[in-house]
Every structure is written in structure tokens, then in C-alpha cells.
Structure 1
Amino acid sequence: MSVAKVGAVVLDCPDPMALARFYAEVLGGTPQQEEDWVDLVVPGGPALAFQAAPGYVPPRWPSPEHSQQFHLDLTVEDLDTAEKQVLALGAKPLQTEDRSRTWRVYADPAGHPFCLCAC
């Protein structure tokens, strides 16, 4: 028996609605705003939430001095197709050169690292 279940994964960011829209385009769902907080109920997954963080400084990847603290692994059918889509939505490539791997690392528009992983 578990003690708890995941209610939401919360990301600090400078603009909660903008980042929620990015992830809604990537994962589905509709952002719902409540003051400085935006919820995104993801179909088939845990909820993501986004909170305004004044003075937000994005993590650097990879960097022991500026830890990423966590990242999201997003499973996709086709890495090349998904890559084109997330880049068009504003993601930045962090580690995508090795095309033989089954995963690639990006940063969302607020700088949080996430991976696209082939299923």
C-alpha cells in the first residue's frame, strides 16, 4: 500500500499560462488558470501545474552548479517527428546530436529540461 499518489508535477516559471500552453500542445489537455497558478490535466497522465516564480532562473543542463532538479521523460512514437513538433512550439535542443540513442534532451520555453523517449 502506498502512502500517497502524484497529484501534480509543478514547474516554477516566469509565465505560467505560456508554459502551460506549450505543454498542452505537446501532451494535450486544456490549461486552467487560477491567479498565479495554471493546471493542465494531461490525458492519460498526471496533472502538470505551473506557478509564477518571481526572479526565476532556469536550470542549466548539464551543470552541477545549476542543477536541473528534475526533468520530464515524454514517450513518443517517432523521435524525428516529435522533435520537429516540439522545436516548432519553442523547445530548444540540449543534447540531440547522437541519433543512435532512443532519447533526446530539450529545454521547454522556460528552460526546464525534458526528454523525448522512443517507446
Structure 2
Amino acid sequence: MAIAKLDVVALDCPDPRALADFYAAVLGGTLTHSEEDGAWLVLEVPGGQRLAFQKSPGYVPPAWPAAENGQQAHLDLTVGDLDRAEKEVLALGARVLDAEDRDRSWRVYADPVGHPFCLCAA
């Protein structure tokens, strides 16, 4: 029997609204909860998952693939067309982290504040 149920994955960032807007454009969904001061936002994405954004003063983005300030976690996002999805996330402010192997079924990016994520072919 499980001890707990996963409720939400939270990402630290300097501007919760800006990062929430980025992921809402990528994943769809609705912002459902916000602290009055804007320091915490929750995005309900289709399928029932929740992604939160927490203001972190002095935020330092993870480095990929470096060990110092290295990634602590990343998101894998499934897409139907890697090339189309790549164009769309780049237009929203993502940047490519790994462009070496264009023939594999996944690609690595950073969101606008540096969190690594992968687009993975369905």
C-alpha cells in the first residue's frame, strides 16, 4: 500500500506568472490557485496532473549537463511531431540544450528560466 499520493510537482523560478504562462502554452490547462502575492501558482493540466511555480529569490538555474548546479529533475513531455513541437516551444522562449543527435526519439531543451525538459516522440 502506498504511503502517499503525488499531488503536484513544483518548479522554483524568479517569476511564477511568466513560467506558468510558458507551461500553459506548452501543455494547455488552467491556472487554478495563486497566492495573493503571486509567489505560488498552480497549473492544472489536461489529464489531472498539476504543475506549480514557486517564487525563489536568488534563483540559480540548473546547468545541463554540468555537475555544478546540475539538473535536479526534468520533465518529459510527449509530442506527436518533434519538429513541429520544437518550433513551437522555441517560439515560446525555450532554448535547445542538446542538438547533437536529431535522429533519436527525444530532444532536450531549457524552459525560459533554465529548467531542463525533453520533448519525446509518442
Q: TM-score band (shorter)?
A: over 0.9
1:50 and 1:37 map into 2 onto residues whose CA distance is 6
**Matching residue of 1:10:** 10
Runs of 4+ in 1 over 3 A off after TM superposition: none
SS in 2 for 1:44: coil
2:63 and 2:75 map into 1 onto residues whose CA distance is 15
Cα offsets for 1:23-44 (capped at 9, x unmatched): 0000001224223100000111
Instruction: Assess if the C-alpha contact under 8 Å between 1:17 and 1:31 holds in 2.
Output: no
Number of matched pairs: 119
Alpha-carbon offset, residue 60 of structure 1? 0.6
2:48 and 2:99 map into 1 onto residues whose CA distance is 25
**Matching residue of 1:103:** 106
What's the Cα RMSD here? 1.0
Q: Percent identity?
A: 68
Residue segments in structure 1 that go unaligned for 5+ positions in a row: none
Instruction: Assess if the C-alpha contact under 8 Å between 1:29 and 1:40 holds in 2.
Output: yes
| Structure 2 residue identity aligned to 1:80 | D
Residue segments in structure 2 that go unaligned for 5+ positions in a row: none
| Structure 1 residue identity aligned to 2:2 | S
Residue 119 of structure 2 corresponds to residue 116 of structure 1? yes
TM-score, normalised with respect to structure 2: 0.93
SS in 1 for 2:53: strand
1:41 corresponds, among 38, 41, 44, to: 44
TM-score, normalised with respect to structure 1: 0.96
